Structure 1
């Protein structure tokens, strides 16, 4: 079992406040929580918490590695809510405030930081970088949103389309490709049969098993009275989503 790392430590409402793990899934030492609310029986406190909201982990305590009980964020709130001590309500309010601020800004500003110019510059530089990265990600997600929404919608569609129509859909999603080029790419990628003959440009066994295509059969009457069956590959709703995602992801054109 790996040692659990402490990620934050401060004084809160006159008590020692420590956070372990990470700020997305923080853990709190049950012994600390018991001290916050003046509960003199930590084991009893732990016993009243749901099994999914507590766990044992190893930490360095008094110079030794020891296995200790921890509460999840929900487990902590559960204990504080059940406590009759006035400080429990205040602790819950302050913990939520601290975690919310850190998750939003990547840090929690305290007076010590503001009183140390060098430390403040370092911290705010890091915050600026994190915000810029987040902004870039938000812009990219917004740009990709129409493509994702479109791909999701065609997945649920029961309407199959011709390969030429799929080429138009790909163009609408930023992939510059025409019908003939798309046929060629689908053959090269193994989705359509390459061998010349009656099966040329028909879906491969793999494509049919993946339900990416269906074959439309049309009966054509010849002038001499003969009947000919014409087969045309059509891309299913699932296939449209599959190929749009494939071409966008791999920048195929």
Structure 2
């Protein structure tokens, strides 16, 4: 994917129409036509921002923009959800692949902070708790409070743990098994794989199946087992 100049609006990353079209391997006319044909589905502030007047003038003056945008009277900036609607309208392998890369490499900024391991988190809480309980009247009361804090940390840490490599392979095997059970045609199987991967990400609200929480694994496996592909018209 080409390097994209970062642009933000109201605290979230956005792309202009030219950038979105280039990423999806199409042109701005197609993007604009899709928008016009399905305008009732697009919500301003959620799927896009339309800059006009002074706001557009300020935007143009704050950054270097393409020559073809210098004289436009309305500039559309597309959010991640807006890009998803355009990918759905285009419905090509290239568009879907580009959308996934946009989510991973542009719209979502990954933090450089390394999360604590479970043991590290417990040690940190224990040290903090030692300061908090100092001076309490009863050792028994201190121990009870400390135990409760540790239990709370255990619960919060378990809630955020994602799939390890073995669990990821287990999910992949479940997906492959389902697709091969449903389809003997090697020409159709890739579509089933893409469709099932997209539905898993939509169902569990993740950018990749690797981001599934460990506590969601069994639910995801049952979802895959009962999955039925969309009919091809």
Short-chain TM bin: 0.3 to 0.5
* Larger radius of gyration between Structure 1 and Structure 2: 1
TM-score by length of 2: 0.35
User: Larger relative CO (CA 8 A, sep 6+): 1 or 2?
Assistant: 2
Higher helix share: 2
Higher strand share: 1
